[in-house]
Amino acid sequence: MNAGAARALTSSGLHNHFELFGLVPAFALDLEALERSYREIQSRVHPDRFAQAGDAERRASLQWTTRVNEAYRTLQDPVQRGKHILDLRGVDVAFETNTQMPTDFLLQQLALREELESAVSRKDAPALDRLRADLSQSKKALESQIGIAIDANQDYAGAADLVRKLMFLDRMHAEIVQAYEEVE
């Protein structure tokens, strides 16, 4: 861990989302345990429970629920979960600044994008379905690689590269979902 990252960790008071849910930080997360814990906490802090309470409790409830929702959303999403673990380990995934990717990966992405454009221009919804299914497969494969890198090998730098790749696939996925609106 470098000094800069360590400083960022302490000064920003980074929340450990896993701790909030009483879970051990791991990329391969038991999503059902997460959901159980989330619901258990929500059932205690949600504003619906404090509709008749004083302002102080209602404010505390709003803040807690907001935080719990944010933490849940982060841990549910593989890219955000990966980024969060790496943040906790002092490794910056640097989505914004580090856009260098291996050439073969980029070529693959370009090819996918061309396929998408052609499916849109043909108004071919089944082609979009296929693209989406293929992409889901690739995402799953990548997620299990990230799980191994983080949980088994503690190879955080390597994991950061994989998380960045996964983020590319997520963006691609969002574009496919958006494309349905042009096709339908």
Partner 1 sequence: MALLQISEPSMAAAPHEHRLAVGIDLGTTNSLVATVRSGATTVLPDSLGRPLLPSIVRYHPDGKVDVGFAAQARQAADPRNTIVSVKRFMGRGLKDVAHVENAPYDFVDAPGMVQIRTAAGVKSPVEVSAEILKVLKSRAELSLGGALSGAVITVPAYFDDAQRQATKDAGKLAGLNVLRLLNEPTAAAIAYGLENASEGVYAVYDLGGGTFDISILKLSRGVFEVIATSGDSMLGGDDFDQRVFCWAVEQAKLPPLGARDMRLLQMKAREAKEYLTFHGEAPITAKLSSGELVDLTIDTETFCSISQTLVQKTLGPVRKALRDAGLTIEDIKGVVMVGGATRMPQVQRAVGEFFRRDPLNNLDPDKVVALGAAMQANVLAGNKPEGEDWLLLDVIPLSLGIETMGGLAEKIIPRNTTIPAAKAQEFTTFKDGQTAMTFHVLQGERELVSDCRSLARFELKGIPPMAAGAARIRVSFQVDADGLLSVSAQEKSTGAQASITVKPSYGLADADIERMLRESFEHAREDVHARALAEYRVEAQRLLEATRSALDADRNLLTPEESSAIENAMQALQKLLPETDHRAIKNATDALNRATDEFAARRMDQGIRRALAGKKIGSF
By beta-carbon proximity to partner 1, the closer residue of 41 and 149 is: 41
Buried b (16+ CB within 10 A) or exposed e, 99-118: eeeeeeeeeebeebeebbee
CA distances from 60 to 52, 87, 171 (A): 14, 27, 35
Instruction: Work out whether 181 is an interface residue with partner 1 (CB under 8 A).
Output: yes
Nearest approach in angstroms of CB 95 to partner 1 is 14
CB 169 within 8 A of CB 159: no
By beta-carbon proximity to partner 1, the closer residue of 41 and 116 is: 41
CA gap 24, 29 in Å, rounded: 9
Query: Quick one: which segment of 64-72, 95-103, 115-123, 159-167 binds partner 1 (CB under 8 A)?
Result: 64-72
Nearest approach in angstroms of CB 133 to partner 1 is 11
Q: Contact residues for partner 1 (CB under 8 A)?
A: 20-22, 33, 36-37, 39-57, 59-62, 64-66, 69-70, 72-73, 177, 180-181, 184
